[in-house]
Amino acid sequence: MTDAPYPTVRMLPKGDARAVRHGFPWVYANELVTDRRTRGLAPGSLAVLEDTNRVPLGLVAVNPNSKIICRMLDRDPDAVIDVDWFAARLTRALAHRTRLFDQPFYRLIHAEADGLPGVVIDRFGDHAVIQPNAAWADTLIAPLADALARVTGVTTILMNASGRARTLEGLEDRSGTLLGETPTAAVPVQMNGATYMADLTGGQKTGLFYDQRPNHAFVAGMARDARVLDVFAHVGGFGLAALAQGAASALAVDGSDPALTLARQGADAMGVADRFETRKGDAFDVMAALAEEGAQFDVVICDPPAFAPSKSALEPGLRAYERVAKLAAPLVADGGYLTLCSCSHAADLTKFRNASARGIGRAGRRGQIVHTGFAGPDHPLLPHLAESGYLKAVTFRL
């Protein structure tokens, strides 16, 4: 629990206090008076943010080590950030998810859009995984976990604190079990008629990617009796969804042997192992090899990692997306479908779509766009924060 009163921090005249008043959740380091007192605040400290006239704007979390030096927590400068405060945010978020889904498998907290900046929480039935990607959440992880257990009734809470976002905050990687027993086996997750095996302790991120759920469903709807190729498949996201909807076969390609093992376990659990194959290797190399073999598929999906995670990586990232499209297009049978995905917030939809179209054209193919998809509704967007709309999935008919 944190007791008021709080220290104060003040915006510079060049800072955009009006944007903050209207809902923008961040203050950048070059917008804040960073005197010795402010620089001396411990990462994760709470403070009252004031404009240049010393009018309070709200209660913020401060991290002098980050370019995002302030994250807005509450418009009430006297708010107390304790278990009850967290419970109120979690209750509001839970009401949205339970209206959407009839089973407890979803992203419960999507950072700023759910009022907990820098925090991601994914729920897997009785298990929940927290990613505290901001210093304040590290500091207040105990009341957050207490509130999570109170509101949801989960019996296991894990913390997976690693990745680029924490590095940008100046935070070290650390993970562990906050409540209950550490799972020793993968957790089965039901989505779109498929069964996915989520490794909550050793898998990527929180163990499973919920954001692609509606895009899995769209692609699976086109896949009845189809030959499907799922590249960068992870635990079989698109391929298993397609098999659940009657695909004739699915080949999952990934560089991770543990991920493909989980994909095969999912196929076994669904009773579709006879129609499911895996191929381990570099995705670019495997696609080139498949082309040399003359392989053809009715539906091809490429869901790579973020090639453009920052503005500085944008141009090489777009070239990588173009190369993915160029290698994938020859594998699509005439009249078939190619779905290309990007989780890079630095590459907006137009840039990504254009790079994909260039790659298809360089492969000597032509296509029409038949669908554009985004993250599911359990990944809400904060209107003021373009970065929260990171996922794009564009389906071409070639």
Q: What is the CA radius of gyration of the chain?
A: 22
**Distance from the first to the final alpha carbon of the chain:** 57
The residue from 70, 302, 341, 343 that is catalytic is 343
> Active-site residue 343, yes or no?
yes
* CA pair distance 396, 362, nearest whole angstrom: 15
Q: Which sequence positions are flagged as catalytic? A: 343
